[in-house]
Structure 1
């Protein structure tokens, strides 16, 4: 056995897993990272305007607050710097193997070991496998006819080309999700003309994003309780939004008030009533990830910005042709089309030759507590289906890694070499999910028109666990360890 634990991915989830293992006294682990640096999403994304869309005090490890955030919503480079800081402070870097792309993982039943294959031909063995690949790392490229025919410059927001200058160019952005919401106001200042192709409008809430002055940062540093209080405040505010999503039926009046606040914001920001109408969502708040901005909507008041809602027919050599027959010539095409959030980038084969993605394709996405799947011993997903909680990635990391560590610790205590979730426990959790989903916005908010990444190809919404953050975190500390079968 090469390592007791193999972690795939060195973003915040992988870094958090490594820190938790070290705190538990488990030093024999490796983090396999396909890129040449750590940081995941915050390494790959560097487009203009990049910032976190959750208040910075909440978007961080609870055990490692950062008193020096420059703003309430920190910019991308600050988040990447925080990842580097955490990896260095907690001794994670010596465990990281960069430029190590995983091409497959197979559980050897006669050894109770995972065999993890790498692109360079090497194979590593480990007792436990933690998939911490993240959701916002593999770009989704739209299947639009003629995309490869375009002779201008094409770039995906997750692979930003800093050597290409947009000044004075005719630019098109396809997509109006959370990324485009940050990008569009920034590039609109420099381009000659900007066409924004919208399939579905996004709910936009006003953004309270003050700079955090140095005296306040110093107060956070000298009196940590003040920063903990700020984190409690921002986390509570975020939790209110989450409650409206997962308990939509019970809290529908509250959700409607949020929607009305967004619509007032839209009316205040956009002058043209026709454009305002096109920017008005027709689905419930929470069907797709909402966002916060004071700049996005008013960008459409600019003379050099046009909102395009006519469906795209094809990409031509020189531009975009819409289904009304019009062709819009451009110099640069920007794909703000998101990520393949449900994809695992390599095949994972468990007992009896069961491959995880094929299992989900045939049986729909499912897991126990968002962490484990029957027939896949010693495998933990961070997160799996119905495992993400809240809006802050760190809340999910905390809960899912605690779950994995409890099982690993119990397996070691028993002198066992295999832990596999019992089918009955798995089915019980999925029955609970099924009972809770009718309360969520996903079944009450006219979400069919949202084109949301929360939904998969089956029409299910396995991205979000249908519970509050508080309930999910409590469950990660109290789920019955007997829900797993331990064997040697």
Structure 2
């Protein structure tokens, strides 16, 4: 019997990828992933982002009043203290500066391609690589792909009759128009979530009339915000033990106050009821002259059901003569304003949609088709079988694919703390694949299913699926009725699970005939701060790499 076919298969030519790793998204998720790749000794990577600058959420969200809603010391990477933050709760512009600080410190700019959108990706089983499709019509291939598209990525416009007929200015908070003059206008705001409570006091300062349409009220805690003295900032930047102690204290406080209460609600239901009564008393104390207004602003669901928020101005804004709180449902939008169910038309010049984002929503997470083994589409799989991922990072049948903000990956608290955990998970797996000479690494079905079962078991007992959160419409719970946006664990468990997962939870395989991973060119030459699609095409051509149009 001839052995020629077997020999030919053994010696067949295998396509080399353009990059070892492609990271989708240049927000903090992509930035954190780039840092972890650097630390792991992996330098042949490309970070792609559809926007004109880095920063993700903090590049897109520039509405008046935007700021972090947890203490700044916790909203940063543990390995890189922020040098620019001036307040206990850093304003958005300073968070964007911090993103620039990290990118420059770790030399990531030469690896970032802006103004380029990934519109799809497909696993190539023959060559063990991913083929990414760009909105330019080009294709970029890589051994590994990391999805670092954040949860607050796709703005959600309200689905209200007649919105397209409005004759004035319409703006979503994530697409703020700074060229428009809002001063002296009749401004209508739809939404009273975590974004709206930052924006509404700012709009009240400049509007001739401000009308706020509230579907559900929000819990707002006092904001212990103050300028950080220069000496304190220097100490936090230069004295590592002090900074770590402060971060640990904040982490423990959030773990107990948010994660602990939310996850272990069934064991301490009395604490949640006590917090709700205390919150109602606080609202009445802040609005002593108008108990009816206090009642309309007080949620009927428990604190913690929705994203926790802080403000010292929000509640009192509604006591101003030119500010109106409307709780009647919106019936339709006309050319001149908004009509509520009682038939009243409230005229407006500006319509501000503070209506959030599509989180774990069908067709939007991921916001592009990803095709794994056997033609399996990730979005369709999640839609049919519910959102799931091992440690929030990997899914069976999607080898060499990692996520930074995957389902059941975020223990409520700091997104940057979660990014550290999940990006280290991805870098650890990629580095181990390198060490073994593997061309594919894939989470095994059994450990994946065990993690998902644990999340479902715990999730069913969390506060977010209890009667305490009925009517809250929290984005923590998706359209399938699952709390997929939240990992039902403490921060410590999230950190430990991502840092110490057993390698035997993964399968490491190698293409037939390969004796090790061949790493493509290292891109070590100095490149401009960003490069265009034409530059990328030329870069590919000079390296004899594939550009498909």
The aligned runs of 1:328-477 (5 Å cut-off) are 328-342=346-360, 343=364, 344-477=366-499
The 5 Å alignment of 1:106-185 reads: 106-185=122-201
The offset of 1:289, in angstroms, is 0.8
Distance 2:256 2:69 in 1: 15
Matches within 5 A, 1:89-100: 89-100=105-116
Once the two structures are TM-superposed, the CA of residue 220 in structure 1 deviates from its matched residue by 2.9
Residue by residue over 1:201-257, the C-alpha shift from the partner in whole angstroms, topping out at 9 and shown as x without a partner, is 111111111111223223334434333322222222222222111111223344344
Contact 2:444 2:506 in 1 (8 A): yes
Q: Which residue of 1 aligns with 2:264?
A: 247
| Cα distance in 1 for residues equivalent to 2:143 and 2:239 | 42
Are residues 1:259 and 2:276 paired? yes
Change (3 A) 1:221 1:287: closer
Q: Secondary structure at the match of 1:43?
A: helix
**Partner of residue 508, structure 2:** 486
Report if aligned partners of 1:250, 1:439 keep a CA contact under 8 Å in 2.
no
The alignment partner of 1:105 has SS state of strand
Distance in 2 (alpha carbons) for counterparts of 1:221 and 1:340: 36
Contact conserved, 1:173 with 1:334, CA < 8 A, in 2?
A: yes
Q: CA deviation at 1:339?
A: 0.9
- Find out whether 1:208 has 2:224 as its counterpart: yes
Residues 287 and 445, structure 1, Cα contact 8 Å, conserved in 2 = no
- Of the three residues 295, 298, 303, the one matched with 2:313 is 295
Match of residue 319, structure 1, among 324, 337, 344? 337
Greater Cα shift, 249-258 or 409-418? 249-258
Q: Distance in 2 between matches of 1:290 and 1:36?
A: 30
SS in 1 for 2:187: strand
5+ long unaligned stretches in structure 2: 1-16, 511-549
Alignment of 1:20-39 (within 5 A): 20-39=36-55
Kept in 2, the 8 Å contact 1:285–1:445? The answer is no
Deviation digits for residues 417-439 of structure 1, max 9, x if unmatched?
A: 11111111111111111221133
- Counting matched residue pairs gives 488
Find the counterpart in structure 2 of residue 269 from structure 1: 286
TM-score under structure 1 normalisation?
A: 0.97
The one-character-per-residue Cα deviations of 1:167-200 (angstroms, maximum 9, x if unpaired) are: 2211110000000010001110111111111111
For each residue in 1:81-128, what CA deviation from the matched residue of structure 2 results, as whole angstroms up to 9, or x when unmatched? 000010001011110001110011000111110000101111010011
1:67 deviates by 4.8
Q: Bigger CA drift: 229-238 or 50-59? A: 229-238
Alpha-carbon shift at residue 441 of structure 1 (Å): 0.7
Taking structure 2 as the reference length, what is the TM-score of the superposition?
A: 0.87
Distance in 2, matches of 1:384 and 1:214, equals: 38
1:30 counterpart SS class: strand
Computing the radius of gyration from Cα coordinates, the structure with the larger value is 2
Which residue pairs with 1:52 in the alignment? 68
Larger CA deviation: 268-277 vs 98-107: 268-277
CA distance in 2, matches of 1:224, 1:372: 33
217, 228, 234: which is aligned to 2:244? 228
The RMSD of aligned alpha carbons is 1.3
